[in-house]
Structure 1
């Protein structure tokens, strides 16, 4: 006889939910959680429910239509006022595995660094007008002394468009009718960041927002390709990451330009010079952490060699050889190889199949550990050329997949990713601002976690998006799902270290150090110290 009772139905319902949840790693491994971890998870879930009522269910005059996991740029000011964010900001986050080095320092801090450089100059290509200030973009460059001009202001009625002005002088002389020096700062910062109006209103297609996104890099390039700034820039990136609980970094360094500009304004700084300096700054930061009595706070950083996916196959062969040479000289620093740039607009991986297969053959022949770590599937297409990059990335043996936004549509590829231990570098705030999804609530990350795909949470280009560190991305992931809890965030942090490119011994050490930091953090959640100022 069939049991049609409510009790029987509810038992079957609970069993089905439990069966599906058991696919997730964080639920499957609940038996490994300590009592303190379970208690801390309950505390966070309780705060999450409380703030859903006290923050995300009430009207805010400056932020209409709020809800947990809503669009990041609109919610940012509210996020920073929450107890959940206060807690997450103190959480040990493991590794940052997907970032682009030319977008890793807060825009205001980058401008301050540039203002300290006598060789840094600015110009505009058309006459500046108060009415056109927002649409007139600055151009920056470190100049040779012979290129300096006597021009004192870019807002002067006598300014000739295209004339360089020393940046500090340009700031100090920015006319009062334009808003003075504060307006200069705001103008520069707006040119290298994306604001809510651009993200959610005016640039309302993927193509439009990517155009703005690419423009921020073109403008900031005047700062990030000036070598005297580079060392300070690197240290600020590492130190700010450490303060956000990031202990290891693999960052994509774009080697598209053959040389950077030196202190004399000459293009002399080679790729090797960049790697040597990177190594020096890593050691400097390690020494600083030792002096502070926090040696475990920074394990180190490595470079994913990247170039742009609009070059020719012949050019890619040159970059491949350059990458391999740098790997042979600096085996501890070069982590992998990637092609970057808009998948929707530039060449697909299949276009580069010959040089990429050559790369794999040479690496194997030389016996060096230099994996492909490829961007793929950063698109909402299904069966489109950008979506099909996922097939090639997996067949080429990529160690991780950058973004993998469209992966959730491919059941067989998900099976292969799990079988081959390929992690997905997920960048939820980046994907939302670049219009692949309206909010983290509709992001495919939930599907990947629910199907037990290994995920590393990443920030992508935080200087452009304003999601410095990883706290904001972890916050959005927690708030965007009713299932996710503190143990989910711990799982994501741990997975980032499990799928980094450190060798087995270094990786084991990194995970052990993280586990110690995690245990201390859990204790601070349980006893309330995490909320102490």
Structure 2
């Protein structure tokens, strides 16, 4: 996350907005991004830094918006709902940075570099593959994103030959309606057919205790089998601290 602040937010055409809900948003655009009800004013970050008295303190404050780290987590995060609220805000904040096409490529490479420095030689990542955009506003589809992961990984291996590679577990949010997830599963099937060495399978992500159970999606999850397509599932239970809840039930459903 430090790289996002010290590198990405210093790039040309990076704009910042403080929403009506107090959430920080970013967008690369030339000229200024379109305003909305939430983002009523975009400011070029280069200009904004000239106005602040202490740039280091400002950058440190940005970093605090990019991470869950806090001096007193037991006070701030009293339950999973509090953690997830902050977690989703972080995703919203950094989304406008990492979904900018030039940054997206560098972000994937930087991620591999940091994992490599931690002695990780193979990566499987869950990714929702949200649209990536250009400075002009042009948006790329999921196939472009998968292809970019593939190309960046190949480039990384050129200078790190012992690195095995990366695979994507295409994912969608378990809060969504079954018809939406059914379409995402069909998308995953198509991606795995076109990129069999890159796309590993499919999973559902998001807050498990407030999201739908796997049973809710049973008909959608059976689509690959009915169509005779092999689509591996990588179901996981990420929150098991509570004595009862969907996350624990999700473990049994996965089995």
- TM-score (ref. length: structure 2): 0.91
Three-state SS of the structure 2 residue aligned to 1:374 is coil
1:186 aligns with 2:64: no
Partner of 2:11: 117
* Structure with more contact order per residue of length (Cα contacts < 8 Å, sep ≥ 6): 1
Distance of 2:201 and 2:25 partners within structure 1: 32
Shift of 1:282: 0.4
Partner of 1:222: 96
Runs of 5+ unmatched residues, structure 1: 1-106, 127-134, 150-160, 290-294, 395-533
Three-state SS of the structure 2 residue aligned to 1:196 is coil
Three-state SS of the structure 2 residue aligned to 1:311 is coil
Partner of 2:23: 137
Q: Name the Cα RMSD after superposition.
A: 2.1
Partner of 2:47: 169
Three-state SS of the structure 1 residue aligned to 2:108 is helix
Q: Deviations over 1:61-90 (max 9, x none)?
A: xxxxxxxxxxxxxxxxxxxxxxxxxxxxxx
Partner of 1:359: 224
Partner of 1:337: 202
Distance of 2:144 and 2:88 partners within structure 1: 26
1:275 aligns with 2:169: no
Shift of 1:167: 1.8
Q: CA contact under 8 A between 2:133 and 2:140: conserved in structure 1?
A: yes
Shift of 1:335: 0.7
User: Which one has the bigger strand percentage?
Assistant: 2
1:378 aligns with 2:250: no
Three-state SS of the structure 1 residue aligned to 2:212 is coil
Map residues 79-98 of structure 1 onto 2, 5 A cutoff.
none
Map residues 111-510 of structure 1 onto 2, 5 A cutoff.
111-125=5-19, 136-145=22-31, 147=33, 162-174=40-52, 176=53, 180-255=54-129, 257=130, 259-266=131-138, 268-289=139-160, 295-296=161-162, 298-362=163-227, 365-366=228-229, 368=230, 370-376=231-237, 378-394=239-255
Three-state SS of the structure 1 residue aligned to 2:232 is coil
Aligned length: 252
Distance of 1:277 and 1:385 partners within structure 2: 35
Three-state SS of the structure 1 residue aligned to 2:176 is coil
Distance of 1:379 and 1:121 partners within structure 2: 39
Distance of 1:144 and 1:328 partners within structure 2: 37
Q: Deviations over 1:184-229 (max 9, x none)?
A: 1011111111223352222222211221122111111121222221
Partner of 1:51: none
Three-state SS of the structure 1 residue aligned to 2:136 is coil
Q: Deviations over 1:77-117 (max 9, x none)?
A: xxxxxxxxxxxxxxxxxxxxxxxxxxxxxx11012332343
Three-state SS of the structure 2 residue aligned to 1:354 is helix
Distance of 2:238 and 2:150 partners within structure 1: 32
Q: CA contact under 8 A between 2:32 and 2:42: conserved in structure 1?
A: no
Distance of 1:272 and 1:349 partners within structure 2: 26
Q: CA contact under 8 A between 1:145 and 1:264: conserved in structure 2?
A: no
User: Which one has the bigger helix percentage?
Assistant: 1
Q: Deviations over 1:160-196 (max 9, x none)?
A: x83111122222322x2xxx21121011111111223
Distance of 2:244 and 2:83 partners within structure 1: 23
Distance of 1:377 and 1:140 partners within structure 2: 29
Distance of 1:239 and 1:214 partners within structure 2: 25
Three-state SS of the structure 2 residue aligned to 1:347 is coil
Shift of 1:381: 3.7
- TM-score (ref. length: structure 1): 0.45
